[in-house]
Amino acid sequence: MTETKQVINRLYAPTWRWLKLNEEQVSLPESLAPAKVLPEGQTTAGASASVLYGPDCGSGLGADFAAYLGSHLPSGAGYILEPEPLIRLSLVSRAGQAQAASFALSVPGGKECTLCMDYASEEKGEGTLLVDLQIRLGQGASLHLIQNDRLNPDSCLYNGVRVVCGKEAKMDSVQMWVGGKTVYAGYRAELEGDASVCTPSVGYWTRTGHKSDFNYEMVHRGKETSCDVLFSGILDEGAAKTFRGVIDFKTGSSGSVGTENENVLLTGDRVLNRTIPLILCSEEDVKGNHGATIGKLSGEEKFYLSSRGLDEASIDALLVRARLNWIVERMKDEKAREQILAFIGEMYAE
């Protein structure tokens, strides 16, 4: 399979090069097949990807990735989603293939939608799935987005989300990255309209030998906009994770508030956990804050549970799952919740 070198998840404001955090260099397939999307019969964007990747359209994974998809997205792999109250999509990845699907959803003013996207593997074996989602929310529109990664542990996933929020629009998302071996997730929210809101919650479980690379950008342009980014994850022995988080208060975003919290549980002794949470501010009347706690399970937590009769393995399992459940509980769709909890249970059993 021939590949092309691309840069994704580029850090919004670069820092020391020796940290190797400024970007992620990846090799993307030269040839892509359309991903299998269920239910069938969704409205496609036609043969050309330019409907989705016009000159002013980026991707959560970055401009280079948008350009790549613009030129590589296969015919029939671009979808225009209708803003139904509940949209449920399943993407089924096939082993041995590099598949892609791109979606655009425009939610008109005053409407509320829930979009559930489930990624699963048809069989065991290596496969690559590229998913990109472009969202535009009209005045007062609301979208609940759920994305569950239930891919097999040999898979590679690229997932981009880009949302442009109009006045008083609300975007909340819950993403669970617990399946694939390598996960690249990018997310960019343009809070253009006054009083627009974006609240992404992300749970991840990066297991031994797995790699996660995240880039989440919240760009505040309108007045009194707000964001609340929550990351809660687990890194097993030998896992590697990079999280780039950005809250950018542009001039004119007065009265805006941005919060970013990260909670990382380290279950192994040798991990690679890299975090760079940026707050950029060119507006005086704003409040931005970031908090991170990174460490092992506390002795106090373990002692309390052992005093209740649990052995060490059960305590670890309970507390680790609690970290993920904390995010899963935010899903506004019961079926999606049950699916991902069952998947996490299966992973534990393995």
Partner 1 sequence: MEEKTYIEDIDRSIYDIRNENDDSYRIEDGLTEEIVRQISREKNDPEWMLQLRLRSLASYRRQDIPNWGPPIDELDMDHISTYVRPNTHMANDWESVPKDIKDTFERLGIPEAERKSLAGVGAQYDSELVYHNVKKEVAEQGVIYTDLESAMHGPYEEMIRTHFMKLVPPSDHKFAALHGAVWSGGSFVYVPPHVQVSIPLQSYFRLNAKGAGQFEHTLILVDEGASLHFIEGCSAPKYNVANLHAGCVELYVGKNAKLRYSTIENWSKNMFNLNTKRAIVEEGGSMEWVSGSFGSHVSYLYPSTILNGPHADVTFTGVTFAGSGQNLDTGAKVIHNAPYTSSYLNTRSISKSGGISTFRSSVSISEKAHHSKSSVSCQSLMLDSESRSDTIPAMDIRAGEVDVGHEATIGRISNSEIFYLMSRGMSEDEAREMIVRGFAGNVSKELPMEYALEMNRLISIEMKGTMG
Q: Is 56 in the site for partner 1 (CB under 8 A)?
A: no
Q: Is 177 in the site for partner 1 (CB under 8 A)?
A: no
Say if residues 157 and 126 touch (Cβ distance below 8 Å): no
Residue span binding partner 1 (CB under 8 A) among the ranges 66-74, 123-131, 171-179, 285-293: 285-293
Q: Is 270 in the site for partner 1 (CB under 8 A)?
A: yes
The distance from CA 153 to its chain's CA centroid, rounded to whole angstroms, is 17
Residue span binding partner 1 (CB under 8 A) among the ranges 170-178, 265-273, 316-324, 335-343: 265-273
Among 38, 63, 86, 272, binds partner 1 (CB under 8 A): 272
- For 13, 21, 22, 276, the CA distances from 16, given in Å and listed in that order, are 10, 8, 8, 12
Pick the closer one to partner 1 by CB: 10 or 72. 10
Residue span binding partner 1 (CB under 8 A) among the ranges 75-83, 164-172, 208-216, 290-298: 290-298
Question: What is the smallest separation between the CB atom of 247 and partner 1, expressed in angstroms?
Answer: 9
The residue to which tokens 């005053």 are assigned:
110
Residue span binding partner 1 (CB under 8 A) among the ranges 13-21, 96-104, 110-118, 207-215: 13-21
Among 34, 275, 310, 347, binds partner 1 (CB under 8 A): 275
Question: What is the smallest separation between the CB atom of 269 and partner 1, expressed in angstroms?
Answer: 4
Pick the closer one to partner 1 by CB: 50 or 254. 254
Among 7, 92, 281, 310, binds partner 1 (CB under 8 A): 281
Burial class (CB in 10 A: 0-12, 13-18, 19+), 14: exposed
Pick the closer one to partner 1 by CB: 15 or 75. 15
Burial class (CB in 10 A: 0-12, 13-18, 19+), 50: middle
Q: Is 209 in the site for partner 1 (CB under 8 A)?
A: no
Question: What is the smallest separation between the CB atom of 9 and partner 1, expressed in angstroms?
Answer: 15
Residues 6+ apart with CB under 8 A from 89: 37, 38, 39, 42, 103, 115, 116, 117, 118
**Measured distance CA(57)–CA(156) in Å, rounded:** 24
Scanning residues 72 to 111, which ones bind partner 1 (CB under 8 A)? none
Say if residues 197 and 167 touch (Cβ distance below 8 Å): no
Q: Is 54 in the site for partner 1 (CB under 8 A)?
A: no
**Measured distance CA(146)–CA(89) in Å, rounded:** 10
Scanning residues 21 to 50, which ones bind partner 1 (CB under 8 A)? 21-22
Q: Is 263 in the site for partner 1 (CB under 8 A)?
A: no
Which residues in 159-180 are b (16+ Cβ under 10 Å) and which e? bbbbbbbbbbbbbbbbbbbbbb
Question: What is the smallest separation between the CB atom of 179 and partner 1, expressed in angstroms?
Answer: 23
**Measured distance CA(187)–CA(36) in Å, rounded:** 23
Say if residues 105 and 113 touch (Cβ distance below 8 Å): yes
Burial class (CB in 10 A: 0-12, 13-18, 19+), 27: exposed
Interface residues toward partner 1, by CB under 8 A: 13-17, 19, 21-22, 237, 249, 251, 254, 266-296
